[in-house]
Structure 1
Amino acid sequence: MKIYFSPASPYVRKVMVVAHELGLADRIERLPSAAGPVQRDAAIRQHNPLGQVPTFFTDDGTVLYDSRVICEYLDDLGAGSFFGSGATRWRNLTDAALGDGLLGAALLARYEAVLRPEPLRWADWSRGQLEKVTDAVDRVEGMTLGSRLDIGTVTIACGLGYLDFRFPELDWRAGRPRAAAWYADFARRPSMMATAPAG
């Protein structure tokens, strides 16, 4: 198996956390990439017209994207229970959507602040995206996540880790002791430590 990899991508991290938890990480070759929202990686585009990471190759050459699809493939391959069934599946998928939404909004705010030329930056846009982030973290504070290990908790944890990585000034832990305590515990998992973002 192979994956177009970026050490800073929270979506790649989500896939690799699942792979580590299922004992599959050592079977996945990490392919270098230069994916970006403006200059897209031509090598990735040959396989994924979106030109995004993660783009994943199964052992038989099937190409999979995006992170949700890849995680479900790995869960099936590793006989895992990250998605669950019945009501548990819908809870896990909804929590994963919350985490993905947090990540999507944070990435848009990051692109606005870093990639867009300063005279063209739109403060209201950035504020709107960061309000989504704040509302998502507020929701996490009200959730009872306990010791769950599923696609929902992995995605939320990767989202909070991305905030630490790219938005330390947000201080998302302030006023959210339950979310902070849950994340501190989850972040100690070997899979999370092995996939800490860089770059």
Structure 2
Amino acid sequence: MSAMELWYSTTSPFARKVRVAAEELGLSSRIRLHETNPWRDDGGLRAVNPLCKVPTLVADDGVDDRLVLYESGVICDYLDALGSERRLFPESGHARWRALVLQGLCDGALTAAGRLFAEEQKRNEERSVAMIARFTAAIDAALDDLETRDLAFAEPTIGDICVAVFCGYLDFRWPQRDWRTRRPRLAGWFEVYDMGVSMQKTRHRPMRG
């Protein structure tokens, strides 16, 4: 299998999602990491991805000299397809729809969380109270929904990975936020999953500079 290259930032939950997936699939040693700040394009990202977004994966698929993949769900799907059997994206049935729905829920909640964080960084007079309330409501509703779901410790799907990344991002951006007390089932699951190698090796940290 040819080596791959991944452009990522240490604060992006979507980039972390790809890195966790790669660890779970045993592919991380085949991926060369390019840490970059997409807002400054200090890693030449736009030359690879015209949207200048992370994550971006470059791979040799044996057909094109260079296959460039954008969006975390697409990249994770590609990585999962490299193996002899599907592990993260079940091929059919209830398991498939469960995994995809969980991914969609958490990706949406992460988008809300990212926009909430950005809104909170503005000066007080520039902040939108209505938008902050909307994003906060989306995050809380997603957490309440996840509290009712059965999540996997072993053999996680892309859905389970997204749940872990979502919870981890909340801890990174708002370490003082108590999302656990009202969701003891979700908190207990995350405490165990977060101890795994895939989560330990991909911890968020502030971007350099």
State the TM bucket, normalised to the shorter chain.
Answer: over 0.9
Residue 78 (structure 1) shift: 2.8
Alpha-carbon distance in 1 for matches of 2:203, 2:105: 21
By how many angstroms is 1:40 displaced? Answer: 5.6
Give 1:26 shift: 1.0
Distance 1:170 1:78 in 2: 38
TM value normalised by structure 1: 0.93
- Per the alignment, residue 190 of structure 2 pairs with 183
Separation (CA, whole Å) in 1 of partners of 2:77 and 2:182: 34
Against the structure 1 CA distance between its residues 7 and 78, is the aligned structure 2 distance closer, same or farther, given a 3 Å change threshold? farther
Q: Are 1:89 and 2:96 an aligned pair?
A: yes
| % identity of equivalent residues | 38
Matching residue of 2:109: 102
* Equivalent pair of 1:42/1:51 in contact (CA under 8 Å): no
Q: 1:117 and 1:78, CA in 2 relative to 1: closer, same or farther beyond 3 A?
A: farther
Residues 33-182 of structure 1: pairs in structure 2 closer than 5 A: 33-36=36-39, 43-59=44-60, 60-79=65-84, 80-87=86-93, 88-114=95-121, 116-147=122-153, 149-182=156-189
Q: Please give the per-residue CA displacement for 1:162-183, whole angstroms capped at 9, x wherever unaligned.
A: 0000022321102111000011
RMSD of aligned C-alpha atoms? 1.6
Structure 1 Cα separation of the partners of residues 37 and 51 of structure 2: 13
Higher normalized helix content (fraction of residues):
1
TM-score, normalised by the number of residues in structure 2? 0.88
Residue type of the partner of 1:49? P
Distance 1:84 1:47 in 2: 30
Flag structure 2 segments of 5+ consecutive residues without an equivalent.
Answer: none
Is residue 2:30 matched to residue 1:27? yes
How many residue pairs get aligned? The number is 196
Q: Find the partner of 1:9 among 9, 12, 20.
A: 12
CA deviation after TM superposition for structure 1 residue 184, in Å? 0.6
